[in-house]
Amino acid sequence: MRKLLILLPLLLGSCNAISTLIHDDQVVAKVGDNKLYKSEVEGFIPNMIPASDSVRLAEQYINSWAMDLLYLDVAEKELSKSELDVAAELESFRRSLLKYRYEQRYINDRLDTLVTPAQLRAYYDAHTEEFELARPVLKVRFVDVMKDSPNKDAILKMMRSSEYSDLQRADTLAKSTALRWFDSSDTWMDASELARYFGLEYREMLSLQKGDWIQYEPADRDDLMAAYVCNIQRTGTAPLEFCSSRIRDILVSGRKHELMKGLERDLLENALESKQFVIYENE
């Protein structure tokens, strides 16, 4: 096995270790005739991290670099001639990689990602069975605030208002004094997503709903979590707005699939027409 020489000690403690031991263009490690340089190690280490972390990452990089070469060395000595022949695998990988790169360029140059509201509506109306709700969806305003906060009652009161000035004031107060706050009164949320803010399972969260409010006070904490429910739909077909992102992905994915089918068809037809691709009939 080739000799391994590492100039950076494994247990390097000095904060200036890298800068003092690795000079400009200095070789920091060597395996046989292969050399690892300072610039390669530095390129692996992010800027603005503690010196101790820099040392640790440098050690990892150097040892990983060495291990790859040592494995290569022992493999070249121990494997048979047929096992060392990787030409077929490399050629297959090269073809796959070039095919993938061309497909990506072809798609990027031609794929129309614009989906209009009319197209969203048309797909939704034609496939309503695909959008049955698995869980309720809600439009809410949510706050997590300390129970002794002097602004708690004001925030809760204004959260349920329909006046823009009240909601703006609630937003300002909540952002400056609450632990967490968001206003999703114009956007549908899956109940399980809202439940994560409460730290509860969604059925347990919904069991706490009284009228337009869902409130939860953890026994071991001093905060109150509350959601004012502007709207809720528990069953049936999900609202189009809630499904729009999913429908957009479906439509764009379908366009991409059609582009790829067209590309493959054109390649075959053109190759057959130009005699670049010939199929011989068996007699």
- 22 pLDDT higher than 60: no
Q: pLDDT by residue (tens digit) across 180-194?
A: 999 999 999 999 999
Query: Of 3-7, 33-37, 217-221, where does mean pLDDT reach its minimum?
Result: 3-7
- Indicate the pLDDT class of residue 8, thresholds 50, 70 and 90: very low
d(CA 132, CA 238): 6
Query: Of 23-27, 70-74, 112-116, where does mean pLDDT reach its minimum?
Result: 23-27
SS (H, E, C) 110-163: HCCCCCCHHHHHHHHHHCHHHHECCCCEEEEEEEEEECCCCCHHHHHHHHCCCC
Evaluate the CA torsion angle 61, 62, 63, 64 in order and state its sign: positive
Taking all residues of the chain, what is their mean pLDDT, rounded to a whole number?
91
Q: Are 28 and 62 in contact (CB under 8 A)?
A: yes
Q: Are 107 and 264 in contact (CB under 8 A)?
A: no
d(CA 268, CA 262): 10
Secondary structure E strands in the chain: 4-6, 27-31, 34-37, 137-146, 180-190, 209-210, 213-216, 223-233
pTM: 0.74
Q: Are 122 and 189 in contact (CB under 8 A)?
A: no
Q: pLDDT by residue (tens digit) across 222-265?
A: 999 999 999 999 999 999 999 999 999 999 999 999 999 999 99
CA angle 31, 36, 39 (to 5 degrees): 175
CATH number of 133-233: 3.10.50
- Indicate the pLDDT class of residue 36, thresholds 50, 70 and 90: very high
Which segments of the chain belong to CATH 3.10.50? 133-233
Residue 50 has a CB neighbour count (10 Å cut-off) of 9
pLDDT of residue 2: 45
Query: With the CA atoms of 74, 78, 83 and 89 taken in that order, what torsion angle do they form, in degrees rounded to the nearest 10?
Result: 0
Q: pLDDT by residue (tens digit) across 47-97?
A: 888 888 899 999 999 999 999 999 999 999 999 999 999 999 999 999 999
Amino acid at 272: L
- 13 pLDDT higher than 70: no
